[in-house]
Structure 1
Amino acid sequence: MTSTSQIPPDTEASAPVAPLRRNRDFRMLLVGAGASLLGTRVAVAAYPLLIIWGGGTPADAALIAFATLLPQLLFVLPAGALVDRWNRRRTMLACDVVGLSSMGSLAVALLLDELWLPHVMAVAFLEGSAVIVYRLAERASVRHVVHPAHLGAALSQNEVRGQATGLIGQPTGSALYSVLRWLPFGFAMLTHAVAFVTLLTVRRNLQDERTGPRRMLTTEIAEGFAWVWRHRFMRSAILLLGGSNLAFQVIGLTLVVIVKQGGYPPYMVGVIGLLGGAGGLLGAFTASRIMRRVPVQAILIGVLALWSVLILLVSVTTLPVGLGALMGGMAALGALLNVTAATYQIRVTPDAMQGRVTSVVVLIGSGLNSMGALLGGALLTAAGTSRAALITAAGMGSLALLAVCVPSIRRPPVE
């Protein structure tokens, strides 16, 4: 089946291709998804402040993080198969409605001065579920609104968008919370509304026509697993990335606790996020150029090794600016790895399996993040911030060493 978004080779070679910056549908998809993501980032940044500065404990904050990330474990596989079945545009619109409603309920509760931990967990769970489905649908849609030659650049811009929302989201969430504690969630409600309207303006079809008969959902999910399992490089790489994502759940909570124990105000968490986001932007902007010069397996090994060094330095750093600089370095490396992995995966995956393959990648790579949040709370309670960072750095270093030793990582993958 020929994708409606792909141009035949002879046409591609002869017809001029308009610059990506003039691609209206891509811009609208980029802006709509960016608005939705920004609202989510602002809310996620405010969750630990709402709990810890509201008299809660690190364990309470870890429960909120657990609820936010649990959908990656529970729903990502069926979501991937359903994204390959459903209309992707309508799916993303529905996700914005869920996000708007859940954020609105929390904002109203806080306006009424009713803070209830189970309610916050429920809101975090619903928002996290909507984010999973939305991002699967949006990532699968990109190849339908850009020329094949622009795919790498488009995904690089998507990563820039993600890093920019991180850069803006963390300090915005902490600043809005410092003014009124319900404001971050009211802001998230507004951005979901903006995303809904913007997505309606995208004109192109966001998927190929589905002509085959539908089968059992479990059968389609199993096909995604089987495809990834046969691809040895991808299989090994996402297992390594899953371990690294566990480590970052511990480090994220560690940074918040360091700021609180140092007697700094909540907005200093935003300063760390600001510096981290700046590093992420740098990594996203330079990713496409680095990818042309450095093999994907070398990028993977190098990023894991450098992450272990930067996390080690967290154990001996207490100043927020220093922590922010370290986060900037980690975010820059993460952005490079994100663009590299996404470009590789989309190029080698058939369109009809984009949602399922991406869902398998997300499940294996990030599905246990909710457990990482609980691990972070337990580790910080038992060992303190410095030892928690040391243990995490040792784990990341072990992953880098394992990457060097695994044959399927060392060999150049074939696209």
Structure 2
Amino acid sequence: MSVLDEAPAAAPPPLRRNRDFLLLWSGAGFALLGSRASMVAYPLLLIWSTGSAAAGAVVAAAAQLPHLLVQLPAGVLVDRCDRRRLMVLCSVGCALSTLSVVAAVASGRVWLAHLAAAAFVEGSLMVCYRLAERASVRHVVPAAQLTAALSGSEARGRAAGLLGQPLGSMAFALARWSPFLLAGVAHLLSLATVLLIRSPFQDPAEDRPPRGRLGPQIAQGLRWLWRNTFLRLVMLLVSGSNVLFQALALLPAFVLYEDGLSPGTVGVIAAISGAGGALGALAGGRAMKLLGLPSLVRWALLAWAVLVPALALTRSPWLLGALFAVMSMVGGAVNVAGGVHQVLTTPDRLQGRVNSALQLVGSGANALGALLGGLLLDATGAAGTAAVLGAAMAALALTALVIDLPRHHRNTPQGDQE
């Protein structure tokens, strides 16, 4: 054996020098930034026009409905279609949808049906885009850097909320059409970055599932998830918490409206919350190593059970932001840990379908949460809403303590095991 044969393989370059990862990372960042800016503007437009939280909840629910209706078909598309082309089409569609709202608001011809349709279209395309981006990460970074890459991606998503929601709300305070123009430009920037990536986004075409009926291909991903008891139980718990957080999403805007404060203050609360989420995402890999995913999920639910009812004790934007920041910090760590577990245990040919099934379980009922939050706020006010949702979160935490998550985690199937 020669000296050259015995030499260790060269270490991969750090992620900050990985051109294709940086393009993928920044492109998704632009897309998320645009989506956050527009999504915060939809309910603001209706709340400040009608004074009704329920009206704002209608369009917020329309934006969340794709998480229920589009996830599973989108997962099949991500697995069997060219992911690069799919992401390009999604960016173009999002830009056209948001720019149509710019034209409508600028001309004074705003209809609830149009706003709900635009929010639904943008939300649907973002579901496809994000599934494709998540499945593509493992093809642009070495396996040893996957945890760091997914931590960076989760932090990027939190940062998009940190910047997008404040930008959207402050732009709304200046001109009601401007958040949607910001979103359209951001989606076009996302399009440009995807076109510049050189690496393949998936395995060769011959390894992809054949074109055919959606039903059987969706079922393959669902069967894999069903046999992975640990992921299934965790996502059911996360789904319940996501519904409750979606119901809480309108609480800051409602408090500010009742107190006669500027809608731009919603952005301050979102910025503080986003900063906490970004910090949590960056610490997600370390938290997973320190606690393990089962314990991390349990501690997260316990923390939320304490923090959610605390929202009933204050109407200060700064304190509301601080509470949301801590909750987001915990959520960021859980999302990174869960994402790493999913990507490492799922074969590439099932990445889109399994991730879409997980997203359906985790976020499919978000539209119900948005409607629930609007109805609760109108019926019980901010304090009553926080108390009711806090009690529900405590029930989830108790459930997590009863379920034997560590045992199911030890029995998790790996790779192609179905």
Give the alignment's TM-score, normalised by structure 1: 0.95
> Does 1:386 pair with 2:383?
yes
1:3 aligns with: none
The correspondence for 2:278, drawn from 281, 288, 299, is 281
> Does 1:302 pair with 2:299?
yes
> Does 1:171 pair with 2:166?
yes
Unaligned runs of 5+ in 1: 1-9
CA–CA distance in structure 2, aligned partners of residues 100 and 13 of structure 1:
47
1:69 aligns with: 64
Shift of 1:12: 12
The correspondence for 1:258, drawn from 255, 261, 276, is 255
1:327 aligns with: 324
User: Retained in 1: the 8 A contact 2:80–2:210?
Assistant: no
1:270-300 deviation digits (Å, cap 9, x = unpaired):
1101110111121122222222222100110
1:119 aligns with: 114
CA–CA distance in structure 1, aligned partners of residues 307 and 253 of structure 2:
17
Shift of 1:408: 3.6
User: Retained in 1: the 8 A contact 2:158–2:277?
Assistant: yes
Shift of 1:266: 0.7
2:24 aligns with: 29
User: Retained in 2: the 8 A contact 1:144–1:204?
Assistant: yes
Shift of 1:253: 1.1
**C-alpha spacing 1:12/1:270, structure 2 compared with 1 (3 Å):** farther
CA–CA distance in structure 2, aligned partners of residues 315 and 217 of structure 1:
45
Shift of 1:19: 1.2
Percent sequence identity over aligned pairs:
45
CA–CA distance in structure 1, aligned partners of residues 310 and 11 of structure 2:
50
> Does 1:105 pair with 2:97?
no
User: Retained in 1: the 8 A contact 2:229–2:408?
Assistant: no
1:248 aligns with: 245
- Give the letter for the 1:76 counterpart: Q
CA–CA distance in structure 2, aligned partners of residues 357 and 333 of structure 1:
24
- Give the letter for the 1:87 counterpart: D
Shift of 1:13: 6.2
CA–CA distance in structure 1, aligned partners of residues 121 and 114 of structure 2:
11
1:195-232 deviation digits (Å, cap 9, x = unpaired):
11111000011000132643422111001111001001
- Give the letter for the 2:218 counterpart: I
1:1-23 deviation digits (Å, cap 9, x = unpaired):
xxxxxxxxx99963322111111
User: Retained in 2: the 8 A contact 1:232–1:408?
Assistant: no
> Does 1:372 pair with 2:373?
no
CA–CA distance in structure 2, aligned partners of residues 268 and 193 of structure 1:
28
- Give the letter for the 1:141 counterpart: S
User: Retained in 2: the 8 A contact 1:100–1:193?
Assistant: yes
1:36-71 deviation digits (Å, cap 9, x = unpaired):
110000111111211111234111101001100111
CA–CA distance in structure 2, aligned partners of residues 308 and 355 of structure 1:
32
Q: 238-247 or 215-224, which moves further after superposition?
A: 215-224
The correspondence for 2:142, drawn from 147, 172, 177, is 147
Where in structure 2 are the equivalents of 1:399-414 lying within 5 Å? 399-408=396-405, 411-413=408-410, 414=412
Shift of 1:409: 5.0
Give the alignment's TM-score, normalised by structure 2: 0.94
1:142-183 deviation digits (Å, cap 9, x = unpaired):
000000000000000001111111111111111101111100
- Give the letter for the 2:197 counterpart: V
The correspondence for 2:131, drawn from 136, 146, 171, is 136
Say which SS state the counterpart of residue 141 (structure 2) adopts: coil
CA–CA distance in structure 2, aligned partners of residues 410 and 403 of structure 1:
13
CA–CA distance in structure 2, aligned partners of residues 349 and 388 of structure 1:
38
Say which SS state the counterpart of residue 181 (structure 1) adopts: coil
